[in-house]
Structure 1
Amino acid sequence: MRGGVSAGYWANRFGRKRTLLLNNIIMVIALAVEILSKNLKSYEVLIIGRFIAGINAGINTGVAPMYLSEISTVSLRGLCGTFNQLCITFGVFTSTVMGLNHVLGTDSHWQYALGFPALMVVWQLCTLSFCPESPRFLLIQRNSEEEAERALVWLRGTHDVSDEIEEMIAEREHAKHIKKFTVCDLFHTEELRTPLVICLAMHLSQQLAGINAVIYYSTSIFETAGLSESYSQYATLGTGAVNVCMTFVSALIMDKVGRRSLHLLGLGGMFIASYILTLGLIYDQYDSGHSWVGVICVLAVVFYIIFFASGPGAIPWFFTAELFAQGPRPAAVSIGVLVNWSANFCVGLFYPFLQEAIKAYSFIPFVVFLAIFWVYTLFRVPETKGKTIEEITAQFQTSVRYSPVPVTDEND
């Protein structure tokens, strides 16, 4: 939460690429503190290390989708944004494997699992260092047309980038004639407030759908359904693998099917899967001992993950960057990440108490939220597939004050 709300500030001050690289310093500090906790036999030090690691994660989840959105072409924006989520799901799957009892989930080896991100730090330093900064950041915010053109040539693999350069120049020139943007404008200006509400609803639909209750507590959910501890761990591992595979499929079809359509499909499928899971848990509570109930619950969770990965897992992260122009984008992304992680925190903190209090009925709140967000998406969320940022932002404008390019009549 703290890292996410600061992401926009660092992205504007240092640039998107440089912020991601400098953020590795925070991760190195976190790793050192976490490993030190093992030697000191101090869980307080471990908590501090996890807190620092959380700041790193919050900054990454804000800046990485913004960077990918700004360097990609219109036709590949959904693919790039979804691949960001693919890497996250692969990380979740990897950590699940490491946490198994016969891998690194032991009293003597858990510190090696926490130290694994050191390899990711080295990987990013060896790869991202050779990538260019965001051309839009270089031209619009740093006024460096030459550097922006070099970056675009590198990214596109061609010297014919004049159209994109002219589009960014037009946005920069128009920005000179409008008042300086402030975060408060996101709430006070209608053409910014409307897309902000949509983005926050998208982030909330991802977290309040119960995904982290499934991710964090899937093993205990399976045990509640009658599976043994070992089988529950392997079932959890299977759901992680399904999440990775379906996120990859989603990346391939995102720019063909569209964001709104996939989000509706995902929320609808999650609603049905959650409803079936709830029925299975309730049936097992009153008439336990049937192995087929456990199978039904596992299948419900698997299908829940499939539908989550098809859209809601990836879309909220890059959708915010699509709905805002260069000026308000970092602030909007920061607020979106803050809300997402806040909802994540609430679900992770309170679900165990909810599960203990109402047991088999613990997924009913998520079923209700899924129904509400499906209706909201159907009537309020626009489709952004195949549209430029300027075309998308024009949908929300009641005046031309924040428009990056003048909006003219189709017949002019």
Structure 2
Amino acid sequence: MAITEHRDIEKGDNKGLEDLFEPLIDDYSSKKNFNDEAVKKQEVIIQNDSIGMVLLSTAVAVCGSLEFGSCVGYSAPVQSDISIDLNLSVAEYSLFGSIVTIGAMIGAITSGRIADTIGRKGAMALSAVFCIAGWLAIFFTMGTFTLDTGRFFTGYGIGIFSYVVPIYIAEIAPKNLRGGLTTLNQLMIVTGSSISFLLGTVVSWRTLALTGLVPCMLLLVGLMFIPESPRWLAKVGRIAEFEYSLRKLRGQKANIAAETDEIHETIYTLQSLPKARLSDLFNEKYIKAVIIAVGLMVCQQSCGINGIGFYASETFQTAGLSSGKTGTIAYALIQIPVTMLGVFLMDKSGRRALLFVSSSGTFLGCFLAGTSFFFKGQAIFLEWVPLLAVSGVLIFIAAFSIGMGAVPWLIMSEIFPLHIKGAAGSVAVLVNWFGAWAVSYSFNFLINWSPAGTFWLFSGFCILTVIFVAKLVPETKGKSLEEIQASINS
């Protein structure tokens, strides 16, 4: 009998055993499901506990972005008042409006070295000091020299901010939140610009200069409460501070072993490499990333954003509006909600999709604005000219805000290996600010030459942007920084 039962079991007749152990299996399964649910709930608690410091650190960093926006938005609403009070010619005001970009270019050249030497927090603090000095010089100015010097100082400060803020956020954020958090950089830029646009319609240009001090003060206070970038700390060998910073960002109960190992492995690899020089950027391992970053910066500026933004009020008046302030207010109000939509979509739809939509929209906006000026020049459909001009500029700024404003900075912060990030990032930011200077300085002269031709020229560059994105720009959504860099070089 025992032999028969043994043979039945060997043949696979386990019905009796299953009946015997079924209650135990069910009990184990229910406990396992309960434990799995508990683990998931604990992970949520840990994530909620850790995200607070990441959000605080991001909020402090984007005070630099707010300052950036305040600076670039300053010149549009005050052009008429400053020109009258200080008796400035068109050329003198064009110099004032554009010299901020010259300062930013120099800031860009030095930003990578500064951020690598004194850290991301140190670089942000230094930027704030330069901006404070610049705004005070503008406020107390009685002539063009002090006015331009102040504008140059604020430009130098935001040149550093434009590099270090997205880099800092990208280095502290979890990969599933990095896109949205880094895009807050652009949201705060347009918020600062919009605030300057709106306040400039109701306060004097000297008072408006004082409002630029507020983001700097908030930043300097906030820096005392947030950690340094753990990746930078690991890079410079401050291991104890690295672990403390990462733990502070991820939460006391979070398991940071995998992320720590990944960062250490990257740093160990970097230590075996020679110190990066500008010539290294032409190495076949890095040239593709450099082309992508620099190309996106060229695309961002060649669409005309700084010319259209710096002189929005004058553009609306040229189109035939009785007051440029109405269009300027609309320009300011549309940026913030559209940029918020871009923040939401960044980690949903991805970077490439936003770039396609954005560059297509900027083409449409520039084409409509150019067409309106063409109608005005030909003295046809004159009743449509103001509506087409305002619609074109508003479509342009909405489209720019949803993608082209933020995505190039985000991708720049993602695609470079840590050891060349300083040199490569400085080059990309330098190219961006050179383009900003070229567009902002030449815009008034281009408009005097041909308003329609100016906007149609920008629309042509928008088409080239669509082609560039389609051919070269990778999707970086949902990947760690190390994964992105590996995929580019594969």
Deviation at 1:183, TM superposition (A): 2.2
Contact 2:369–2:452 at 8 Å: present in 1 too? Answer: no
Contact 2:361–2:399 at 8 Å: present in 1 too? Answer: yes
Partner of 2:376: 284
Distance in 1 between the 2:199 and 2:131 partners? 19
Deviations 1:194-232 (A, max 9, x none): 110111110111110111222122222222222112xx2
Q: State the secondary structure of the residue aligned to 1:190.
A: coil
Unaligned runs of 5+ in 1: 399-412
Partner of 1:192: 286
Identity of aligned residues (%): 31
1:328-367 to structure 2, matched below 5 A, reads: 328-367=420-459
Q: TM-score, normalised by structure 1?
A: 0.90
Residue from 10, 20, 26 that aligns with 2:130: 26
Contact 2:316–2:390 at 8 Å: present in 1 too? Answer: yes
Partner of 1:93: 194
Residue from 226, 230, 233 that aligns with 2:320: 226
Given the alignment of the two structures, is residue 324 of structure 1 paired with residue 416 of structure 2, yes or no? yes
Distance in 2 between the 1:367 and 1:166 partners? 47
Residue 289 to residue 223, structure 1, CA distance change in 2 (3 Å): farther
Given the alignment of the two structures, is residue 208 of structure 1 paired with residue 302 of structure 2, yes or no? yes
Distance in 1 between the 2:231 and 2:419 partners? 11
Size of the aligned set, in residue pairs, is 385
1:61-100 to structure 2, matched below 5 A, reads: 61-100=162-201
Deviation at 1:145, TM superposition (A): 2.6
Distance in 2 between the 1:369 and 1:276 partners? 15
Contact 2:364–2:395 at 8 Å: present in 1 too? Answer: no
Q: State the secondary structure of the residue aligned to 1:352.
A: helix
Distance in 2 between the 1:18 and 1:277 partners? 43
Distance in 2 between the 1:179 and 1:213 partners? 41
Distance in 1 between the 2:181 and 2:351 partners? 13
Partner of 2:353: 261
Return the structure number with greater helix share: 2
Deviations 1:21-62 (A, max 9, x none): 23222223223322331xxx2221111111111111101111
49-58 or 121-130, larger mean C-alpha shift: 121-130
Deviation at 1:144, TM superposition (A): 2.3
Deviations 1:136-159 (A, max 9, x none): 0111x2222321222122212243
Read off the aligned partner of 1:74 and give its amino acid letter: K
Read off the aligned partner of 1:215 and give its amino acid letter: G
1:38-77 to structure 2, matched below 5 A, reads: 41-77=142-178
Given the alignment of the two structures, is residue 145 of structure 1 paired with residue 246 of structure 2, yes or no? no
Contact 1:210–1:347 at 8 Å: present in 2 too? Answer: yes
Residue from 10, 24, 41 that aligns with 2:114: 10
Q: State the secondary structure of the residue aligned to 1:337.
A: helix
Deviation at 1:349, TM superposition (A): 0.7
Partner of 2:230: 135
Distance in 2 between the 1:179 and 1:132 partners? 28
1:114-133 to structure 2, matched below 5 A, reads: 114-133=209-228
Partner of 1:409: none
Read off the aligned partner of 1:144 and give its amino acid letter: R
Q: TM-score, normalised by structure 2?
A: 0.76
Partner of 2:52: none
Deviations 1:276-333 (A, max 9, x none): 2211221122225733331122122111111111110001112111001111112111
Contact 1:11–1:330 at 8 Å: present in 2 too? Answer: yes
Distance in 1 between the 2:247 and 2:132 partners? 33
Q: Runs of 4+ in structure 1 displaced over 3 angstroms?
A: 288-292
Deviation at 1:87, TM superposition (A): 0.8
Deviations 1:72-103 (A, max 9, x none): 11111111111011111011111112221xx2
Residue from 249, 264, 275 that aligns with 1:180: 275
Deviations 1:209-267 (A, max 9, x none): 111222122222222222112xx212112112111111111011101111111011100
Contact 1:226–1:289 at 8 Å: present in 2 too? Answer: no
307-316 or 143-152, larger mean C-alpha shift: 143-152
Q: State the secondary structure of the residue aligned to 1:363.
A: helix
Distance in 2 between the 1:195 and 1:171 partners? 18
Distance in 2 between the 1:222 and 1:150 partners? 53
Distance in 1 between the 2:130 and 2:402 partners? 32
Read off the aligned partner of 1:300 and give its amino acid letter: G
Read off the aligned partner of 2:139 and give its amino acid letter: I
Contact 1:278–1:364 at 8 Å: present in 2 too? Answer: yes
CA RMSD of aligned residues (A): 1.5
Q: State the secondary structure of the residue aligned to 2:125.
A: helix
Read off the aligned partner of 1:53 and give its amino acid letter: T
Distance in 2 between the 1:285 and 1:54 partners? 36
Q: State the secondary structure of the residue aligned to 2:254.
A: coil
Read off the aligned partner of 1:222 and give its amino acid letter: F
Q: State the secondary structure of the residue aligned to 1:58.
A: helix
152-161 or 256-265, larger mean C-alpha shift: 152-161
Residue from 242, 253, 277 that aligns with 2:334: 242
Larger radius of gyration: 2
Distance in 2 between the 1:35 and 1:214 partners? 25
Deviation at 1:355, TM superposition (A): 1.0
Read off the aligned partner of 2:241 and give its amino acid letter: E
Distance in 1 between the 2:385 and 2:372 partners? 6
Distance in 2 between the 1:302 and 1:295 partners? 11
